[in-house]
Amino acid sequence: MEGSVSITVVSASDIIIARDLGRKIGKELNFSQTDLTIIATVISELARNIILFAKQGNILLSSTKQGNKVGIMISAEDKGPGIPDVFLAMQDGYSTGKGLGLGLPGVKRLMDEFEILTETGKGTKVTVIKWSI
């Protein structure tokens, strides 16, 4: 895969499109079936957060390299309300909605790299990477 692909996320069907594209890219990068499921789960969770808390945003999928490692980079970006307390949002069981509050901490556990940039009133960007062996 060359470059990256951006999916606008506004509805449930967009989550499926992003998830399936992530699987396709992951497959091209020789990820295992287990990892492909993890990748799909992470994309679904981040896309769901966009819809729930920011109404709309983008999922960016790209292949990435570091030394001899190859991986998939998933970036979820929105111009929503932002997260006032990231530390709190990263605690298991913390949710301002009706969720289980396992989304963000779960995503962090499932991926190799995790970064969250957020500003109240400006938006949120969550970038994660999974390396393939």
* List of residues contacting ligand ADP (CB under 6 A): 49-50, 53-54, 78, 80-83, 89, 94-97, 99-101, 103-104, 124
- Please give the Cα distance from 115 to 128 (Å, whole number): 6
Closer to Mg ion at the Cβ: 26 or 103? 103
Q: Which does 26 bind (CB under 5 to 8 A by kind): Mg ion, ligand ADP, none?
A: none
Confirm or reject binding of residue 118 to Mg ion (CB under 5 A): no
DSSP 3-state of 96: coil
Nearer to ligand ADP, 37 or 95 (CB): 95
Indicate the SS3 state at residue 105: helix
Q: Coil, helix or strand for 82? A: coil
| Residue 55 or 69 with smaller CB distance to ligand ADP | 55
Q: Which of 57, 103, 107, 118 binds Mg ion (CB under 5 A)?
A: 103
Distance of closest approach, residue 100 Cβ to Mg ion, in angstroms? 8
Helix (H) or strand (E) holding 100: none
93 three-state secondary structure? coil
Q: Which of 49, 75, 118, 124 binds Mg ion (CB under 5 A)?
A: 49
CB 132 within 8 A of CB 116: no
Residue 124 lies near Mg ion (rule: CB under 5 A): no
**Closer residue to ligand ADP, CB minimum distance, 22 or 101:** 101
The residues of the shown chain that bind Mg ion, judged by CB under 5 A, are 49, 99, 103
